[in-house]
Amino acid sequence: MSTFDLSRRFASEALGTGLLVATVVGSGIMADALTHDTALALLGNTLATGAMLVVLITILGPISGAHFNPAVSLVFCLNRSLPARDLPAYLVAQVAGGIAGTIAAHLMFALPMLEVATKLRTGPAQWFSEGVATFGLVAVILAGLRFELKAVPWLVGLYITAAYWFTASTSFANPAVAVARSLTNTFSGIRPLDLPGFVVAELLGALIALALMGWLLKPETVQQSQPLKAEP
């Protein structure tokens, strides 16, 4: 458990989520401006996001755990790694930080501070993709913390880099990021109307991962055989 007080952990979660969203939105705007090739634009968006995740988790992880994601914070609350009393503060920090990240990206590219997204992202395939994406993210985090703690920043960054491409939804895997992306009418946007389906799918995927990995990573109990007693 972190030794930092809640105010600094709050700031860490807000800062990290903000920089993550600024990277997602800003790199999407830059990529879209530089090329009309959607695949190439997505590649630029992907690489920037994966790289930023490695950086943010490395430098902010020791302070707040570097969740930057309400689904991840919920999982850590349920497995008692995060006190329940701290969960609301983490959620507020993540959502507020994410919105601030969208504002920062817009200001850097001379766009209105906030816009309502019009990009359609809905349907069973998209929802299932988000469930799979978040399931994988949580599984990677939990297994990484168990077996290779120092590698977690790279594991998460590499997973999201891959998930951008193998999921139909381009792997939001994060309710706070989804909310922030509903406020940009750019390459990375999502219609506010489509948010509920994404958020529900993300939370379900996270909870399924918690249940499965809780069983999969549980240490094996070694039963010691009782010594045979000599008969009189």
Helix (H, G, I), strand (E, B) or coil at 81: coil
Average confidence (pLDDT) over 125-135: 98
Q: Which two tokens stand for residue 188?
A: 């990375």
Residue 228 pLDDT:
53
Q: Which of 60, 53, 68, 74 is nearest to 158 (CA)?
A: 53
Q: CB–CB of 138/210 below 8 Å?
A: yes
Those residues with Cβ within 8 angstroms of residue 113's Cβ, 6 or more apart along the chain or in another chain: 103, 106, 107
> Residue 77, Cα to own-chain centre: how many angstroms?
15
| pLDDT score, position 219 | 84
- Which pLDDT tens digit goes with each residue over 40-57? 999 999 999 999 999 999
Which whole number is the average pLDDT over 154-163?
A: 98
DSSP three-state, residue 137: helix
Q: How far is CA 179 from the centre of its chain?
A: 12
pTM summary value? 0.93
In terms of phi and psi (left: phi > 0; alpha: psi -120 to 50; beta: otherwise), the region of 140 is alpha
